[in-house]
A and B are shown apart, each in its own frame.
Chain A
Amino acid sequence: MNYDAIVVGSGPAGVNAAVPLVEAGWNVALVDYGNRDATYAPLISEAPFSRLRSTDAAQHRYFLGDRFEGLPSGELRVGAQLTPPRQYVYADVSRWMPVVSETFSAMESLAQGGLGNAWGAGAFCFSSGELAEIGLAPAVMRSHYERVAARIGVSGMRDDLLPFLGDSEWLMPPLQLDSNAERLLARYVARRRKLQAAGFYLGQTRLALCTRPHAGRAAYGYQDMDFWADPGRSVYRPRWTLEELAQRPNFAYLDRRFVLSFAETADGQVRIETRHADCDRTQILQAGVLVLGAGTLSTTRIVLRSLRRYGHPVPLLCNPYTYVPVVNLHSLGRAARDERCSLAQLTAIYAPADGGDLVQTQFYSYRSLLTFKLMKEVPLGGREALRALRLLMNAFGILGINHADRPARTKSCTLQPGRHDRPDELHIEYKPTPDEECRRIEHEKQVLRCFRRLGCWPVKRVAPGEGSSIHYAGTLPIDLTDRELTCDQECRLRGTSNVYLADGSVFGYLPAKGLTLSIMANADRVGGVVSARLASGMRRAAA
């Protein structure tokens, strides 16, 4: 069958690129591998964490996993934080998309909804300066941020972070903070002036989460089960958009297909070679336009394979990430409300005095990931560790610190042909420059100093390794020059006529803010560009 457009991938990029095309009436197919979780989701009833803990005899199945895959294995690795009900997100990846690296751990997804299933739902707009550095027009992007916010539902507060995160007419009321975060924010408000003078701003996290009913999704219910399930579908997952798209007669969801490559034909069509997930059968699909939104690393593989650029290094970006367990002394020994959210409660922005890149920190309170996972981190015997953790838990928090990233010679990936019928391998070399390392350490010191002034004491600093933020970008960036393996401002891949990129691969600069909302906004823009392009082609043909 011939489609007007084929979109590859059902994650945040793919579905949001498909929406404008489908809305414009084009005949669209979304090609996807489409793994789903059939095991754990049906087991988890919609009830608060505390009630499930005291009543559900089957809780061990989803908390620990049927094969005990929820038990920590010892070493730090990307994806280790995923709970058993979320681990299907990276199922089958090593078979189809091998990555070779000694310095970088990558996480990719072949799930329906992609990495968006495990997304922390942080929804941050890039500033005009950040967008301009990427090569995106701020005024244009604003309207797409608004469209996406209206689609997915974003909640947040117009607070001290407003200058950094921008405003939105679609902003829903903020979440009610948990007790620990509430005390921390109150301390900040009392010391705001001094902290801001040090470049430190704190506010409520913008989350892709509905605090009132929206598009068939329920208002958030404060069940504290967000790492395990999607109660009420309040937290946005790309699957919700896919389900809406599937209702449209001009949309086809082609799952169980792994996209290998594309080729443009003389008559202006794009042929896409796919392999069936279950039987190795190859299928060729054809469309007027191809939109790749499979995720940065997957899209890079497809492009390099299709253009036969084996062995050719392309840049790679990934936000350096550190997490820091902290104890909020002002919550010590105090009771905590049972109704709460597991996702990030507060966001801190640190603006260095030298005008360098912003540093973004998320504050999470800890409870629903269970106490036993912390026991092994405490240098005490098990019984005393358990006693201490129960006393400290209401005051315990995790800071996740993200830093900006820019291209460097020491950060690249290369596609190498697979040997002995094995899939092609993506070789990644990633090492921050010494200057970046120094700045990272210095900025983290400053951030932690500010948190200490709020009574939040770091227990230790954990660097889980490069790649751990799972914010990959910049492999095929927007570039105004005519270099190969880059995109033009419309995100059309150079050297092709009808191939567009809609995911993080086009971002040649990565601000410290999570990039998912910006990927979705840009994907929405790319979908619009492609739709306009198809329309002008129709007009030309008619003339």
Chain B
Amino acid sequence: MEPHASLDSSLSREAAVLARYLIGREPASTLTARYINAEQTVGRKDADRLDRQIVDFAVQHYWAIAGLDTACAVLRPQAVLREKLLRLAAVLEASPEGAQDFLPKSAGPAATLFWLAAIAARSAAQLAVGAALLKGIELRDRLERRGQ
């Protein structure tokens, strides 16, 4: 496989996994292509090894994305994983297929408070799991560096 084809295919898989995490479904092929274009145009080219490992781990282990993303939001706000999610969110939001997933929702005051509390509780749990995962990836990275 040519290098750019392999890059496209890994970005395409990344788009599918991250979109499933963000909005619960995989994106249409046009949006995947747009995400790949965005990554190649404005994506960070100088991402460090640890950042790449976080992204790889998240893409390979779907169950870990929520935790890692939450942990990065608190502990590593400039993480490449966050940037990629933001770019994908932008691509999804700026499309007729994805717009509904981003427009405001009015659930009534009581239900809104309930849902906000639920989000807070879920986020706390995700942070605990994600922080441990992040530590693990950092540790593995450090050991690998030492091994080299």
Residues of A at under 8 Å CB distance from B?
Answer: 50, 53-57, 59-60, 63-64, 67-68, 70-74, 332-336, 367, 370-372, 375-376, 378-388, 390-394
Contact = CB atoms under 8 A, between A and B. Distances in A.
15 contacts: A59-B94, A60-B91, A63-B93, A67-B41, A68-B42, A73-B42, A332-B109, A333-B108, A335-B106, A336-B106, A370-B94, A375-B89, A379-B77, A384-B123, A387-B119
Contact of B70 (A60, A333, A370, A380): A380
Instruction: Identify the 5 closest CB pairs spanning chains A and B, nearest first.
Output: A333-B112, A393-B104, A381-B70, A381-B69, A333-B109
B87 A71 contact: yes
B108 A60 contact: no
Contact of A332 (B69, B86, B102, B113): B113
B66 to A, nearest CB: 5
B26 to A, nearest CB: 15
A50 B21 CA distance: 25
Nearest to A69: B42
B147 interface: no
Given A370-B102, A391-B116, A386 B74 contact: no
A386 B96 contact: no
Interface residues of B, number: 49
Contacts, number: 140
B70 A384 contact: yes
B73 to A, nearest CB: 5
B107 A391 contact: yes
A385 B101 CA distance: 12
B99 A54 contact: yes
A104 to B, nearest CB: 25
Interface string B57-86: 000000000110110011001100010011
A50 B99 CA distance: 9
A334 B105 CA distance: 9
Interface string B12-29: 000000000111000000
B5 interface: no
Given A334-B106, A371-B93, A60 B119 contact: no
A376 B78 CA distance: 9
B96 A394 contact: no
Contacts of B105: 390-391, 393
A390 B104 contact: yes
A437 to B, nearest CB: 27
Contacts of A367: 104
A370 B90 contact: yes
Given A64-B94, A333-B107, A336-B106, A384 B119 contact: yes
